[in-house]
Structure 1
Amino acid sequence: MAVTDRVHTPPPTRQRPPRDRRVKRLAFSRKVSTWDVKLSPYLYISPFFLLFAVTGLFPLLYTAWVSLHEWNLIGGQGDFTGLENFRFVLVQPFFWNAVGNTFSIFLLSSVPQVVLAIAIAAVLDANLRARTFWRMGVLVPFVVAPVAVGLIFNNLFADQAGLFNELLTGVGLDPVRWHADSFASHIAIATMVNFRWMGYNALIFLAAMQAIPRDVYEAATIDGAGRLRQFLSVTVPMLRPTVIFVVITATIGGLQIFDEARVFDQGGLGGADRQWQTLTMYIWELGWGQRNFGRASAVAWLLFLIIVVSPLANFLPTRRIADQGGRR
């Protein structure tokens, strides 16, 4: 029986790359990791900026281009006019009337809205039964279509047979001409705005209140502070960032009010004497009423500048008031 000698063949060994190649590969891997850490946050937020560039920045720049030309619905772009559209708009009494109406409605809606939203949030933050039901309930007016809200309140504020005038005459007061009187119409439109947005802002304040540490309230209770004192000295000062955010967003939204004022009458021009015509309604009149998109774009850019300046103007007083409340 032949015995064959088995020759053991060692397995092939993997050739290691040269040291300089391994060093380059390791350096490249570290560089890719560094790029991932630095660039990935920007990639995550890039969809918003791309969408904003398409739907926000481009229309803004295009509106500026239209405002410098004669532009109508049928003929399109006309001659270059420079700042002529702006000069024409700034000397129109209708423009300044719309500016005054816009700020009047904005102040009548935003100031009570923020104050009442904080009060509602404080009530919702308490130990209530069916808290989820009440918290969802305050958001119901926000999901109602603004046109539906405008039509309903238009009937409630009717000059002849409205519910509010019926209540006033029931207690011996004279009825209010909600559509004829300028200030009364501003109150009616501001009521619509408050009805829609108060619950939304209340939920924002509620979320901020729930983020306040509870041990702060426990310390205030040990010091002898009551519920009202805790609300004024603890809750309100610690809501400073949220108050600033809500004030800025309310300013931006309040200066662009259109739906509620537009459906408050049948004509859509802001009353017989334009007593509640806002800037957005004036833009609509110039663009779709007079078919002059150059002048309408000029008013739109003036409104944009007002919206940019107004939040900056009320940011410092709001922050100072909040700081003083925090120090107290």
Structure 2
Amino acid sequence: MVSHNHTHTAVRPKGLSDKKKTALAGYLFISPFFLLFAVFGVFPMLFSFYLAFQKWNGFGEMTFVGFKNFSLIFTDPLFWKSIYNTIIIGLLGTGPQLIAALILAVALNSVIVKFKSVFRVAYFVPNVTSIVAVAIVFTVLFSEQEAGLVNATLNLFGISPVSWQTSEWGAKIAIATMIFWRWVGYNSIIFLAGLQSIPKDLYEAAEIDGAKKWQQFLFITVPMLKPIIVFVVFTATIGSLQIFAEPLIFGSGFREESMTIVLYLWREAFTNNAFGTASATAVSLFLLIIVFTTINFFASNRLDKSGK
């Protein structure tokens, strides 16, 4: 008899492996975000670039006009005024705010301060408050009437009432104060998270060496917080270039004193029905943000190299 030896090989069933199934499940779970971002983020952005070269009122047919929309806004004095206002309000509202946020964060991180959790919540509340509500409250505070809270306070020091909504610097200071109040708590919480990640051993060693509190702050806290500071400056700069709701609701409307670049864009699109020039303004804002971000990037790199 002849015996035949048959070798049985295990046949792997066709289909996806467990690893691929897990990966696919993960992608399915995060896909809603990317779909929504594509529809409400990427598409409008690309469409804006397309509209910047078209003449369109939002209803009729589009007409290709090349760079005419850019020519129209670049020759409009109000466009340049809006950029100037945006930068000035941004500097007034963001610069002091970041310094105050860092000081608040250091205070919250210190051993002396009690009820820290209460203060953290209190500082963060303005950020989650409705912008409309905040703007209305500040409109009342910065009322142009002599009986307005801010004007009444100034009157106690012998300073004459200020036209907060119509004067050149009054409107800017009032809006900057609003931005300061709204974001200082948010940034202080970010700084606080950075402070808590600094090893306490560094401070203990510095104390043993006889370093004072201000020396510890300058030579330990600030260098160790540099990545957080760079991040906050980046986000605050981009945010300051996108100021919109505060000047719109403050009561100044479309006045030149408080016209920001986003407000100018909104007016072109929804008041003048000129979506072409509005899109050209959006593209210009995009390029402006890139310029400021690049300046921040190189400045932070220089700081890093000088700190080493």
TM-score relative to the length of structure 2: 0.89
Q: Which moved more, 1:311-320 or 1:96-105?
A: 311-320
Q: Which amino acid aligns with 2:148?
A: G
Partner in structure 2 of residue 171 of structure 1: 157
Partner in structure 2 of residue 315 of structure 1: 297
Deviations 1:258-284 (A, max 9, x none): 11110111x621x2xx11100111111
Matched, 1:114 2:98: yes
Matches within 5 A, 1:220-239: 220-239=206-225
Partner in structure 2 of residue 242 of structure 1: 228
Partner in structure 2 of residue 153 of structure 1: 138
By how many angstroms is 1:37 displaced?
10
- Unaligned 5+ runs, structure 2: 1-5
Q: Which amino acid aligns with 2:179?
A: V
- Separation in 2 of the partners of 1:239 and 1:43? 37
Pick closer, same or farther for the CA change 1:37–1:321 going to 2, 3 Å: farther
Q: Which amino acid aligns with 1:55?
A: F
Q: Identity of aligned pairs, percent?
A: 42
Partner in structure 2 of residue 294 of structure 1: 276
- Separation in 2 of the partners of 1:225 and 1:112? 27
Partner in structure 2 of residue 303 of structure 1: 285
Deviations 1:28-84 (A, max 9, x none): 99x958868999987776654443322211110011122221111332x32111221
When the two chains are superposed, the root-mean-square deviation of aligned CA atoms in Å is 2.6
Pick closer, same or farther for the CA change 1:314–1:179 going to 2, 3 Å: same
Check the 8 A contact 1:244/1:319 in 2, yes or no.
no
Q: Which amino acid aligns with 1:204?
A: I
SS in 1 for 2:273: coil
Partner in structure 1 of residue 72 of structure 2: 88
Check the 8 A contact 1:117/1:202 in 2, yes or no.
yes
Deviations 1:280-309 (A, max 9, x none): 111111111111111111111111111122
Aligned length: 301
Partner in structure 2 of residue 98 of structure 1: 82
SS in 1 for 2:89: helix
- Unaligned 5+ runs, structure 1: 1-14
Q: Which moved more, 1:180-189 or 1:200-209?
A: 180-189
By how many angstroms is 1:204 displaced?
0.4
Matched, 1:132 2:121: no
- Separation in 2 of the partners of 1:173 and 1:259? 29
- Separation in 2 of the partners of 1:207 and 1:231? 16
Matches within 5 A, 1:44-59: 48-59=33-44
